[in-house]
């Protein structure tokens, strides 16, 4: 697996790739995934279309690498939290905070995940089956849950029922926020949400 | 002819499973030619146990089978006396099986008093704790070839390197997982969804301890022909100090994530690999190995 | 006055106290000093763990304990209203590996106990390598067993609902090859005549055709007058249901049905020695169990013939066990040939074991006779476990009025040595007796 953020982007080519991905993410979130074409991305970056294809041979490939990139960014943050020596309860708060901060600071990352990855599964069938493209993030969540159960704080249950509860909740809040239906800024919900999640996952 | 090395095979709290396992050894004739058994419960021996219990003889190698309870008596003499006498004169003390090595199954009949010869589970304890003489051939039972190897190395004056639990490295550096016929299923995370099939790996559901267990069961096959995992029985980790564990036919998971992962591999690396491997559907591994309809 | 003697090499030790009258044994009390508390170890364990723990009751008949344990758990299912379906294939495999365990046991007993002890008794020492014959033949039997069960000793391949293995014909062909080799070895070393011929003998006279070690053993047994001593109650008990056994009792020269619920345990009679073995009785009566009991109740012609002439003498008892080895070898061959591998090995129980709170009883014929495992589960956890082993019948220790079969058989022996030899004819296993 290519792990984009773990290897420092030393080479020019890597730098360029990252900046292409950032631009593509922005365009996808403002213009929509299907309407944004490869030449349009190249044009925004001031690159020739031919040169652009040296970096990503197809839109499918770009789409997949973007998901890997996002999963790695989130996975790295989660890993830091996992490595912190605090209670599982505090970690839940930290994860909620981390997720909402990213949603605020780099909304295109979360949006891509919610609007493109989850709703256009057909583009990802080939090389992104199952959890391959989100494994960086999912692995860290597994470690978090595993530690929670081992320490006796969390209830032992099926992984997906816990994952759905946690990520579905966070994703839903970000979605509502994006639709501007929330009455308060997202971060003001953090404490209540963290508490709800913890109570739902906690060993009774 | 060289004088034969004197071996005494003593039994503590045991089921005699190691004795019977050793009788499967294909080269017993070599053993009898090279070693003189002062006493063994079934092989030709020089003395009776009653004569042994007088503690007037000496042996070069003490083989001890079963858990160690100093108060237990064999024909009227306590194990403390017997093991103390014969062990102090012997050049090597071989713990045959997991009970003798770590306490094993029969530690559970009196956990307070019973230990192995040199370990109480994984803590050094017992009459040969930290003794350089001690060689642990853990396993419930131990494999006959493991004893055969140890005896021959001793007879040939060759050094036997041991791990921190005093087990010969050449036998216990392998994992039971090495050489299992289900390895490819493990690699691609194709779990066996129920018992009784030759396909699928037993790691996720059936409790297989192969990747966490130091033993060469799938390298040196049992009875020369098979092993637990080859016949669809999970490895129970019987060579490790924590045998017998609880719930041995089930894998301990936390939110579907296995609590234990292969020795020396971080859970993060394991889950990353496993997550990816699991994403692929490999029809060849998902169907029966041999097509019945063909 | 009582003379105490340690009896060794019986899967542990026993201590027998002999009383003599007119230079003949008038009473013998048997004590087994070692105790491990297997039943307590099994307590509070998840039911499935019993399949790992139970085989460790005994290193020589652990497979029988596995079988009894799995039957006990299956009986819990049945008593809870969810009888399990066991495919014919799984049933055949279970019976095959059990039979192979009996075979290895009998070979070891014959060559590592009876042959050398008999030679010793008659002061006609045999070569060390002779004992190894027992180990060699036993190792071939366990090799066949391991093809299906993974290993011997201490396999756990029988589980509620079937077996864990899924053999191919490559495995059965291999098994057949090793079994053939063992049978050829048996013909060459043990009987000197073909298996077929040996299996068709029906009288002591036919034994004159036999030329292998069996002939030597037969002659020595008669020289030692073993056909004139070692008599016990001539009452037999078989409880395990297999292709090679017929659950029934034999008493007053008549066969009758048995009800395992009438098996009872009683404290042993002790004189001056602590013993941990409880006596197994049926309606207050002592019964002999094992190969002789199986042969009499199953009507094996040759053994029936010997029994008619020599009743339950030490000779008959020894011949019965030796002969059973051949019967079982033949049985294994039939079983292997009848295996249909396209059947399932395992049929998943419809209920989780953790939902069951019931009692169950599992009975099998172990090398030395009926082996009973009784279990009570509480939500799948062992609440109570009781083991009744075959040696608890044969080696039970009663008072002079309530003697056990082996005790009674030793009466009249002219020396401790001959009495001890008769004791060994029961194939003594110390670890099973006390567990
Ligand atoms: S069954 Fe056990 S030993 Fe075999 S591959 Fe799977 S984990 Fe390894």
pLDDT for the residue B209: 98
CB-CB contact of C394 with C406 (8 Å)? yes
Rg value, chain B, Cα:
21
C289-332 per-position pLDDT tens digit: 999 999 999 999 999 999 999 999 999 999 999 999 999 999 99
| CA quadruple B59, B63, B68, B69: dihedral sign | negative
Burial (CB < 10 A; 0-12, 13-18, 19+), residue C88, is exposed
Domain identity same for B139 and B200: no
pLDDT exceeds cutoff 80 at A50: yes
Taking CB atoms and an 8 Å limit, are B254 and A162 in contact across chains? no
Task: Report yes or no on B291 lying in a domain.
Answer: no
Taking CB atoms and an 8 Å limit, are B255 and A136 in contact across chains? no
CB-CB contact of C49 with C329 (8 Å)? no
Task: Report yes or no on A68 lying in a domain.
Answer: yes
Query: Using CB atoms, which residue from C41, C57, C108 is nearest to B108?
Result: C41
Domain coverage including residue A179: 58-201
Left, alpha or beta for B140 (phi > 0: left; psi -120 to 50: alpha)?
beta
Q: Cα–Cα distance between C409 and C400 in angstroms, integer?
A: 12
Output the domain CATH number for residue A165. 1.10.357.10
Cα B236 to ligand 1 centroid, rounded to whole Å: 11
What does pTM read for this prediction?
0.94
Taking CB atoms and an 8 Å limit, are A132 and B259 in contact across chains? no
Domain identity same for B140 and B206: no
Domain identity same for B103 and B60: yes
Taking CB atoms and an 8 Å limit, are B194 and C59 in contact across chains? no
Q: Is B175 in the pocket of ligand 1 (CB under 6 A)?
A: no
pLDDT exceeds cutoff 80 at B293: no
Domain identity same for B25 and B149: yes
> Which residue, judged by its Cα, is nearest atom 3 of ligand 1?
B177
Q: Which residue of A has its CA nearest to B277?
A: A132
Per-residue b or e along B197-225, where b marks 16 or more CB atoms closer than 10 Å to that residue's CB = bbbbbbbbbbbbbbbbbbbbbbebbbbbb
Average pLDDT value for residue range A8-24: 81
Pick from B175, B72, B211, B238: which is nearest to C153 by CA?
A: B238
pLDDT for the residue C420: 97
Q: Is B237 in the pocket of ligand 1 (CB under 6 A)?
A: no
Three-point CA angle B2, B7, B13, nearest 5°:
170
Confidence of residue A120 (pLDDT cuts 50, 70, 90): confident
Task: Report yes or no on B289 lying in a domain.
Answer: no
Q: Cα–Cα distance between C97 and C326 in angstroms, integer?
A: 15
Pocket test for ligand 1, best of B185, B193, B203, B233 (most atoms within 8 A of CB): B203
Average pLDDT value for residue range C76-95: 98
Least confident of C19-28, C123-132, C357-366: C123-132
Confidence of residue A2 (pLDDT cuts 50, 70, 90): very low
Domain identity same for B161 and B187: no
For residue C178, the distance in angstroms to the closest alpha carbon of chain B comes to: 11
According to DSSP, the β-strands at B73-74 and C248-251 are: unpaired
Task: Report yes or no on A83 lying in a domain.
Answer: yes
Rounded to 5 degrees, φ, ψ at C360 are -155, 150
pLDDT for the residue A174: 92
Task: Report yes or no on B29 lying in a domain.
Answer: yes
pLDDT exceeds cutoff 60 at A37: yes
- Would you give the distance in Å from CA B114 to the centre of its chain? 18
Q: Cα–Cα distance between C136 and C237 in angstroms, integer?
A: 31
CB-CB contact of C258 with C237 (8 Å)? yes
pLDDT for the residue A1: 44
Confidence of residue A4 (pLDDT cuts 50, 70, 90): very low
B248-287 per-position pLDDT tens digit: 999 999 999 999 999 999 999 999 999 888 888 899 999 9
C236-252 per-position pLDDT tens digit: 999 999 999 999 999 99
Q: Is the CB of A156 inside 8 Å of chain B's CB atoms?
A: yes
- Would you give the distance in Å from CA A150 to the centre of its chain? 26
Average pLDDT value for residue range C113-140: 95
Contacts of C157 in chain B (CB under 8 A): 228, 231-233
Contacts of B276 in chain A (CB under 8 A): 1, 131-132, 135
What is the count of residue pairs from B and C with beta carbons less than 8 Å apart? Answer: 190
Task: Report yes or no on A126 lying in a domain.
Answer: yes
Taking CB atoms and an 8 Å limit, are C52 and B13 in contact across chains? no
pLDDT exceeds cutoff 60 at B23: yes
Taking CB atoms and an 8 Å limit, are C56 and B231 in contact across chains? no
Tokens read off for C297: 């109740």
Task: Report yes or no on B292 lying in a domain.
Answer: no
Q: Is B228 in the pocket of ligand 1 (CB under 6 A)?
A: no
Task: Report yes or no on B208 lying in a domain.
Answer: yes
CB-CB contact of C27 with C3 (8 Å)? no
Q: Is the CB of A159 inside 8 Å of chain B's CB atoms?
A: yes
Domain identity same for B180 and B261: yes
Domain identity same for B132 and B149: yes
Three-point CA angle C215, C218, C224, nearest 5°:
140
Cα C94 to ligand 1 centroid, rounded to whole Å: 24
Average pLDDT value for residue range C211-232: 97
Of B170, B200, B217, the one marking the end of a domain is: B170
Q: Cα–Cα distance between B37 and B28 in angstroms, integer?
A: 12
Pick from B142, B203, B202, B204: which is nearest to B168 by CA?
A: B142
> Which residue, judged by its Cα, is nearest atom 8 of ligand 1?
B177
Domain identity same for B84 and B187: no
Q: What ligand 1 atom has the least distance to the C-alpha of B208?
A: 2
Q: Cα–Cα distance between C137 and C140 in angstroms, integer?
A: 5
Task: Report yes or no on A53 lying in a domain.
Answer: no
DSSP string, C7-55: E-SSSS-EEEEEEEETTEEEEEEEE------HHHHHTTSBGGGHHHHGG
Tokens read off for A192: 């209540």
Average pLDDT value for residue range A130-140: 85
Contacts of A145 in chain B (CB under 8 A): 254-255, 257
pLDDT for the residue A183: 93
Taking CB atoms and an 8 Å limit, are B278 and A130 in contact across chains? yes
pLDDT for the residue A31: 87
> Which residue, judged by its Cα, is nearest atom 6 of ligand 1?
B201
How many domains does one find in chain A? 1
How many domains does one find in chain B? 2
Q: What does each C-alpha distance from A14 to A54, A134, C176, C268 come to in angstroms?
A: 12, 21, 64, 84
pLDDT for the residue A6: 52
Domain identity same for B35 and B152: yes
Average pLDDT value for residue range B14-24: 97
Contacts of A149 in chain B (CB under 8 A): 254-255
pLDDT for the residue C284: 94
pLDDT exceeds cutoff 60 at A7: no
Q: What does each C-alpha distance from C128 to B36, B37, C139 come to in angstroms?
A: 12, 12, 17
May I ask the CATH class of domain C2-428? mainly alpha
Output the domain CATH number for residue B249. 4.10.480.10
Of B170, B195, B228, the one marking the end of a domain is: B170
Of the two residues B281 and B165, the one the predictor is more confident about is B165
Query: Using CB atoms, which residue from B254, B256, B276 is nearest to A150?
Result: B254
Q: Which residues pair with C266 in a beta bridge?
A: C279
Pick from C20, C2, C24, C26: which is nearest to C272 by CA?
A: C2
Percent helix, strand, coil in chain A, to 5, is 75, 0, 25
Strand order across the C24-31 sheet: C2-7, C14-21, C24-31
Q: What ligand 1 atom has the least distance to the C-alpha of B180?
A: 4
Pocket test for ligand 1, best of B174, B175, B202 (most atoms within 8 A of CB): B202
Q: What is the ipTM of this complex?
A: 0.97
Q: Cα–Cα distance between A36 and B90 in angstroms, integer?
A: 82
HSE, side-chain direction, 13 A CA sphere, residue B279: 19
Task: Report yes or no on A64 lying in a domain.
Answer: yes
pLDDT exceeds cutoff 70 at A9: no
Average pLDDT value for residue range C335-347: 97
Taking CB atoms and an 8 Å limit, are A156 and B280 in contact across chains? no
The answer for residues whose C-beta is within 8 angstroms of residue C251's C-beta and 6 or more apart is: C235, C236, C285, C287
Domain identity same for B114 and B154: yes
Taking CB atoms and an 8 Å limit, are B197 and C166 in contact across chains? yes
Domain identity same for B57 and B166: yes
Q: Cα–Cα distance between C425 and C419 in angstroms, integer?
A: 10
pLDDT for the residue B2: 74
CB-CB contact of C152 with C161 (8 Å)? no
Domain coverage including residue B130: 5-170
DSSP state of A168: I
């Amino acid at each position: 697996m290519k792990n984009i953020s773990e290897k420092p982007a030393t080479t020019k080519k890597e730098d360029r790739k990252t900046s292409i991905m950032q631009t593509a993410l922005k365009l996808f979130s403002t213009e929509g995934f299907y309407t944004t074409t490869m030449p349009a991305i190249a044009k925004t970056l001031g690159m020739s279309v031919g040169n652009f294809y040296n970096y990503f041979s197809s839109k499918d490939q770009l789409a997949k690498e973007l998901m890997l990139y996002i999963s790695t960014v989130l996975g790295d943050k989660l890993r830091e939290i996992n490595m912190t020596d605090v209670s599982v309860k505090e970690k839940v708060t930290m994860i909620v905070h981390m997720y909402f901060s990213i949603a605020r600071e780099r909304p295109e990352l979360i949006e891509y995940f919610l609007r493109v990855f989850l709703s256009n599964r057909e583009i990802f069938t080939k090389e992104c089956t199952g959890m391959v493209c989100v494994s960086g993030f999912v692995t860290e969540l597994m470690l978090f849950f595993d530690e929670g159960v081992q320490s006796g704080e969390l209830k032992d249950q099926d992984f997906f029922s816990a994952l759905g509860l946690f990520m579905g909740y966070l994703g839903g809040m970000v979605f509502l926020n994006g639709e501007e239906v929330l009455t308060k800024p997202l971060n003001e919900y953090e404490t209540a949400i963290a508490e709800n999640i913890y109570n739902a996952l906690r060993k009774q | 002819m060289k004088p034969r090395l004197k071996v005494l095979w003593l039994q503590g709290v045991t089921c005699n499973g190691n004795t019977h396992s050793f009788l499967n050894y294909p080269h017993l004739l070599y053993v009898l030619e090279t070693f003189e058994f002062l006493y063994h419960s079934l092989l030709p021996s020089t003395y009776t146990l009653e004569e042994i219990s007088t503690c007037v003889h000496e042996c070069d190698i003490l083989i001890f089978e079963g858990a160690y309870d100093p108060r237990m008596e064999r024909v009227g003499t306590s194990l403390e006396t017997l093991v103390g006498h014969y062990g102090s004169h012997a050049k090597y003390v071989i713990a045959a099986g997991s009970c003798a090595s770590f306490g094993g199954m029969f530690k559970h009949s009196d956990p307070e008093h019973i230990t192995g010869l040199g370990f109480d589970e994984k803590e050094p304890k017992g009459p040969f704790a930290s003794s350089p003489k001690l060689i642990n051939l853990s396993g419930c039972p131990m494999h006959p070839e493991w004893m055969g190897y140890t005896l021959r190395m001793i007879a040939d004056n060759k050094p036997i390197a041991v791990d921190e639990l005093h087990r010969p490295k050449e036998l216990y550096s392998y994992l039971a997982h090495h050489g299992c016929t289900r390895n490819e299923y493990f690699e691609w995370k194709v779990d066996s969804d129920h018992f009784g099939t030759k396909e699928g790996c037993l790691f996720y559901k059936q409790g297989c301890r192969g990747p966490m267990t130091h033993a060469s069961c799938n390298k040196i096959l049992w009875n020369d022909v098979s092993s637990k995992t080859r016949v669809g029985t999970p490895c129970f980790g019987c060579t490790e100090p924590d045998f017998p564990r609880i719930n041995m036919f089930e894998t301990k998971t936390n939110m579907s994530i296995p609590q234990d992962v292969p020795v020396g591999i971080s859970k993060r690396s394991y889950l990353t690999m496993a997550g990816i491997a699991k994403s692929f559907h490999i029809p060849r591994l998902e169907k029966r190995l041999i097509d019945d309809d063909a | 006055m009582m003379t105490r003697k340690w009896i060794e090499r019986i899967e542990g030790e026993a201590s027998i106290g002999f009383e003599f009258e007119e230079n003949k044994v008038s009473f013998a009390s048997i004590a087994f000093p070692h105790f491990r508390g297997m039943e307590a170890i099994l307590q509070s364990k998840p039911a499935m763990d019993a399949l790992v723990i139970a085989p460790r009751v005994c290193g020589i008949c652990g497979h029988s304990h596995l079988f009894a344990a799995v039957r006990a758990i299956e009986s819990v299912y049945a008593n809870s209203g969810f009888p399990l379906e066991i495919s014919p294939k799984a049933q055949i495999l279970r019976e095959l590996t059990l039979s192979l365990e009996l075979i290895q046991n009998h070979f070891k007993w014959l060559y590592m106990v009876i042959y050398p002890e008999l030679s010793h008794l008659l002061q006609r020492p045999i070569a060390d390598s002779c004992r190894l014959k027992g180990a060699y033949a036993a190792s071939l039997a366990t090799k066949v067993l391991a093809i299906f069960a993974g290993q011997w000793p201490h396999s756990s391949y029988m589980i509620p609902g079937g077996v864990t293995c899924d053999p191919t014909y490559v495995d059965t062909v291999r098994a057949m090859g090793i079994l053939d080799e063992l049978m050829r070895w048996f013909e060459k070393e043990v009987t000197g005549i073909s298996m077929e011929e040996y299996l068709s003998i029906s009288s002591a006279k036919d034994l004159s055709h036999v030329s292998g070690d069996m002939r030597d053993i037969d002659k020595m047994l008669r020289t030692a007058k073993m056909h004139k001593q070692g008599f016990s109650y001539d009452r037999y008990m078989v409880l395990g249901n297999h292709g090679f056994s017929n659950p029934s009792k034999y008493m007053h020269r008549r066969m009758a049905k048995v009800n395992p619920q009438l098996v009872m345990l009683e404290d042993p009679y002790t004189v001056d020695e602590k013993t941990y073995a409880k006596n197994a009785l049926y309606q207050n009566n002592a019964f002999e169990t094992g190969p002789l009991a199986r042969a009499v109740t199953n009507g094996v012609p040759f053994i029936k013939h010997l029994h008619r002439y020599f009743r339950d003498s030490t000779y008959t008892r020894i011949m019965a066990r030796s002969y059973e080895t051949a019967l079982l070898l033949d049985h294994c061959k039939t079983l292997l040939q009848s295996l249909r591998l396209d059947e399932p090995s395992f049929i998943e129980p419809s209920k989780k074991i953790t939902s069951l709170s019931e009692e169950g009883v599992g009975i099998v014929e172990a090398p030395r006779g009926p082996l009973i495992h009784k279990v009570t589960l509480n939500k799948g956890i062992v609440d109570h476990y009781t083991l009744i082993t075959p040696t608890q019948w044969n080696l039970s220790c009663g008072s002079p009025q309530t003697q056990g079969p082996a005790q009674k058989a030793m009466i009249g022996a002219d020396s401790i040595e001959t009495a001890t030899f008769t004791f060994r004819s029961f194939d003594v296993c110390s670890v099973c007796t006390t567990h």
